[in-house]
Structure 1
């Protein structure tokens, strides 16, 4: 395969669109929660998306080989992916969509720590450690600096935020398993299919066991299911994998901070969710930390290149 490319206008545009889609998904789940519980909706969308991915694999003649060494890690990522969205679905019952997307997208920090421990090639540099310190400081402030009495959110919003943070840990664990197992060499569609099947089974089971299997087929619910199944769980992930195959991963990762930013804006705009000063002050270092952890090495390379260019001009 040819060398991966630096970001161009096409890649940047696609990343902005992806981050907007991912930031909107929690808002749409919250907006339709009265007619279909988030746990039920995520389960159904995962099943539909699994069928679509299966059709793509059939069209590409990509076999789902269960004897290629991917079965055990595949089951692990299926369980982790399902647990992640169980936590997201339950968390959205208690906290706002904007809070959920920020705490869920702490996953890059937890993934970086896990990969630092498991893979010598993924050792963290000084910039990444700075990003982790900033992010965890922001998380602590968002939790501990909140004035419960003056908050416009429900009294159990802190529990929902904590579930979102645990969802980020589960997402990070999924990343570590993929990177450290035979799944790292498997087709992206195969890994995605494992995850979607796991979410479909676990979340539908959870919906029926907890009495959250209600389904009121309003036009808004059908539109939400179409958005989540086709756009979020199918098209956006395939687009993301395509970008990873053609462009450098580090600069793509820098854009991940846009997702929680879009989530905050969409939550305030579409759901009239309050943005408390303490949460916002905590979210800012979290977003900066995401940038430093995801693309710290690339940012330092760009800075060094700029310094060398300036020295060349001066000489």
Structure 2
């Protein structure tokens, strides 16, 4: 029989998947109700940072002592927050939220490719090759037809989503190579802080965030994204990470398209096509194969493994 603690862990895990999976819906609602991309991101990160910084201050988490670590955290704020958040929010001006959630769930597939190219000790195994093949066929099904016409708005949006997915993967690999020896909340709060600096500057340069004509839908979307997507989601992530470990916690990637597609269809009446369903199944199947024990035999290895990152790379989700 499951203990009360294990049941609570599963509830928090499902809540984490819901927080991140629903973020695509509320990004769509925000941009559809008058919020420009950088402005939306700036306000949500400001709310999220306020919550996270309060938690760090109350817990008296120690700050990094090495000056160069702040440089690494700035890079993480750019590649794990500013770039992907901007690309996803820009994309959802023309692309369905459900499609955004599925394409973004392919991050683990791109991590395998980038890590194999740039990290020592990363092995290419049978199951990873099989997972990459299956997963990328799914991605091709999702975006192939639209990308064939690069002049279409859908194609530009889908390319932006792919760019965001690659940026998250780069952030994951960069953290594994450079961000070590920190309490997990520290990389989280500094990623959000530096991401806010970048997107806030862009908002004031190219938009007018102080002149937003707020409506209930846009206000609710920003508060939801800030408190849940950029705030409570981190706290849930760290709770599960501490209890379950990194590998099991990474299963949250399977929940993103489930909640993303379901909420998009339920709230926004976004169509669920055969290609969307099949592509989603293949992407999830590819991620499952990448993490499977079957076929976990090295084909190529690049020496000594890199140290494990302490940065919450998965928590960069929108």
Choose the corresponding residue for 2:268, options 268, 271, 274. Answer: 271
Report what 2:313 is aligned to: none
Report what 2:282 is aligned to: 285
Residues 87-123 of structure 1 deviation map (CA, whole Å, 9 limit, x = unaligned):
1111111211111111122111111222333444542
Find the residue that maps to 1:32 and give its secondary structure.
helix
Q: For the Cα contact (< 8 Å) 1:103–1:168, is it kept in 2? A: yes
Residues 182-226 of structure 1 deviation map (CA, whole Å, 9 limit, x = unaligned):
x23212221112211222122223333333635223333332222
**How far apart are the structure 1 equivalents of 2:257 and 2:208?**
27
Report what 1:128 is aligned to: 128
**How far apart are the structure 2 equivalents of 1:10 and 1:300?**
33
Report what 2:304 is aligned to: none
Report what 2:144 is aligned to: 144
Q: 1:103 to 1:175 in 2, by over 3 A?
A: same
Q: 1:300 to 1:231 in 2, by over 3 A?
A: farther
Residues 66-101 of structure 1 deviation map (CA, whole Å, 9 limit, x = unaligned):
525412211111111211111111111121111111
Find the residue that maps to 2:292 and give its secondary structure.
helix
Q: For the Cα contact (< 8 Å) 1:142–1:280, is it kept in 2? A: no
Matched, 1:217 2:232: no
**How far apart are the structure 2 equivalents of 1:100 and 1:233?**
17
Matches within 5 A, 1:1-315: 8-33=6-31, 34-65=33-64, 67=66, 69-80=68-79, 81-145=81-145, 155-181=152-178, 183-211=179-207, 213=209, 215-293=212-290, 295-297=291-293
Structure 1: 5+ residue stretches without partners: 1-6, 302-315
Structure 2: 5+ residue stretches without partners: 297-318
**How far apart are the structure 1 equivalents of 2:249 and 2:60?**
29
Which 10-residue stretch deviates more, 202-211 or 93-102?
A: 202-211
**How far apart are the structure 1 equivalents of 2:15 and 2:170?**
26
**How far apart are the structure 1 equivalents of 2:124 and 2:246?**
16
Find the residue that maps to 1:184 and give its secondary structure.
coil
User: What TM-score comes out, normalization by structure 1 length?
Assistant: 0.82
Q: For the Cα contact (< 8 Å) 1:87–1:166, is it kept in 2? A: yes
> What root-mean-square deviation, in Å, do the aligned CA atoms of Structure 1 and Structure 2 show?
2.6
Q: For the Cα contact (< 8 Å) 1:134–1:285, is it kept in 2? A: yes
